[in-house]
Chains A and B, each alone.
Chain A
């Protein structure tokens, strides 16, 4: 019983220290604010996702065409719009680079 109480106390103390660790490490932090994802970063992330989507679609179309899964007619019907999408996403990301 006594051993159980002692071990429980040790377990509890370890957990309390772990939970309090951020406050023990930084008793007086320069800033305690959570890093906010600014609207600018959110916009850039959305544009980067858009660009990656377009580039990956382009890559996949090329691979499918090379492998013979897509015939020339379907390839030609899709490649133009995909290239435009990719270029537009890259341009948008570039033009957004200077904005904050």
Chain B
């Protein structure tokens, strides 16, 4: 079936080339049937990519080691579910999954918008086709997953660190996010190329952007949880270049999601929005370049290969293409209005945008500088945690504050007297919280104290928004409080969904501050019966056990945990040694975590070294509030779903707008 897989990918390449070239010809010559034919080619490319993917998955399920890729990333002993996730366990399969999602998104986007934004879609087709040409070319000519060999008896097996439930979700979510940013980019370019820079491209891509952004956010959080539990260094984000690769487009897309609201509400920032959507897309390709090229040392280095040069060329093309197109259409992107006051919601959005982009570019510089330094000067420079932490505080803390300021300020302008009344309660609650925390000893970390004070301000501001909104709704309709609350959120899904996402970001900030600014650590070598004490916890080393499984030897230290004299039960931490045919065993640390669900605190035990005499070296952390990080993911998802949920009233309003634009009689 490898031949069929190769043929299907070749067909995808041909269809995408057709969509790109014939689509461009159709758009320029205004040929209707040709444009529909190009659109159909893009839709068909999803079908042929799906066939290729199905064949590769079947190869994994059937243990077909005549396929080199299957033999390198799977083995007979690999558990069933991991045989499917092994699809994206290496280079070629990841690219194939990427292409599958891209062609799937592209097919759906051009089909759903075939009527309302026909004049845009005619240009969107060649742009999306062009992006798909790049990925299908890589899979046909540079990194084919269908290279065959004489089948060995067994495969090499999946990297042990990837044999984890998070492997099923973390990479696909990131791909859904990365690739999803191609759709708003294509519509933005379509709007520029067609000269139709009205709001339809924004309306058409609003959900696409939100879906991609949500997937990127959830994907990163899943990756953080994976790292926290599996990598075993005691943290959840290491500012690893490949982690940053996902964070940068997320920040750019966050800025875009906010600034695009200013264009919708005020008709401003049209150029800025084009720049942001292009930046987000280019950064998503740059992220793939970092992950796949091997130019950086990273925990994700298992994925290194020689396709980096192709990605670099594609990034250059994407940057030049989008820059030239934006510059060409600058006259069409003039704002119809201007900023009326520096104290207004749009001004706050603007400050938020500047901070987000500054943070994004600072991270980009931190990632790119070592690469540039090595390429130009030949010396390797390390940009480490202090650099990133510094800028996270400098830009992140004001961003946190602005999340509370924005909802309290009116669009266009606000008087200082009016603001005094609006801000009274949130500021009072924030100051009160800060003072109480200071008394409780939170002053040991100034950034942590500021983060908690700002978090209290934002939560108070958002809470006040919900209370005021529900009260006003009740005054209008005499509904009960729960019904009024439900209809408030239901009738303003974007606004209140957005506030819930803000709550998630605050929970995230509280979790980060708790786990990094207020954590405690103790370490030492323990013989059986000895104990370490940290933040009231006593962890006693009871003994060692060893068991054999099909894949690994598992050694576990049995630990007895107590707090302030109260027995909390047992905990296990240890090491797994994975057997890999023909290779040295790979050893992984299996941390022990005890969660206090009431306080959100974790006791986190890292088994550093097992000595021959049975003693062990442990590092033990107490991480206050760290579980709010994972809770924030659920709240984030809830807020995003509310913001994404279709609103029939908005759809009707848009239908009326487009109806009126095409009809000479006003029908409102």
Contacts and interface: CB of A to CB of B under 8 A. Distances in A.
B532 interface: no
Given A33-B30, A34-B32, A34-B35, A53 B413 contact: no
Interface of A: 1, 4-5, 7-8, 11-12, 14-15, 18-23, 26, 29, 31-37, 41-42, 44-46, 48-50, 52-53, 56-57, 60-61, 63-64, 66-71, 73-74, 77-78, 93-94, 97-100
Contacts of A41: 661-662
Contacts of A31: 32
B363 interface: no
Interface in B609-668: 653, 657-658, 660-662, 664-666
B119 A68 contact: no
B7 A18 contact: no
B380 interface: no
B196 A70 contact: no
Interface residues of B, number: 65
A44 B418 contact: no
A71 B3 contact: no
A44 B665 CA distance: 11
Contacts of A18: 40-41, 43-44
Given A11-B8, A32-B32, A49-B657, A97 B414 contact: no
A44 B662 CA distance: 8
Contacts of B653: 52
A46 B336 CA distance: 11
Interface string B113-138: 00000110010000000000000000
B317 to A, nearest CB: 25
Interface stretch (B76-84, B466-474, B520-528): B466-474
B198 A42 contact: yes
A41 B465 CA distance: 39
B439 interface: no
Given A11-B51, A66-B476, A53 B15 contact: no
B287 to A, nearest CB: 31
B32 A37 contact: no
Given A4-B7, A11-B11, A45-B198, A100 B336 contact: no
B198 A98 contact: no
B43 A34 contact: no
A93 B666 CA distance: 8
A73 B471 CA distance: 21
By Cβ-Cβ distance, the 5 closest A-B pairs, closest first, are: A8-B7, A45-B661, A4-B3, A67-B472, A22-B36
A70 B414 contact: yes
Given A26-B33, A50-B336, A70-B418, A8 B4 contact: yes
Interface string B180-221: 000000000000000010111000000000000000000000
A5 B661 contact: no
A26 B33 CA distance: 8
A73 B8 contact: no
A32 B31 contact: yes
Given A15-B15, A19-B37, A93-B660, A78 B410 contact: yes
A53 B265 contact: yes
Given A15-B47, A32-B33, A4 B4 contact: yes
A49 B4 contact: no
19 contacts: A4-B7, A11-B4, A12-B7, A18-B41, A19-B15, A26-B33, A33-B30, A34-B31, A35-B119, A36-B30, A53-B264, A63-B469, A66-B476, A68-B471, A70-B410, A71-B418, A73-B418, A94-B666, A97-B666
A22 B22 CA distance: 14
B422 interface: yes
Interface string B433-473: 00000000000000000000000000000000100110110
Contact of B415 (A26, A35, A77, A93): A77
B393 interface: no
A33 B196 CA distance: 18
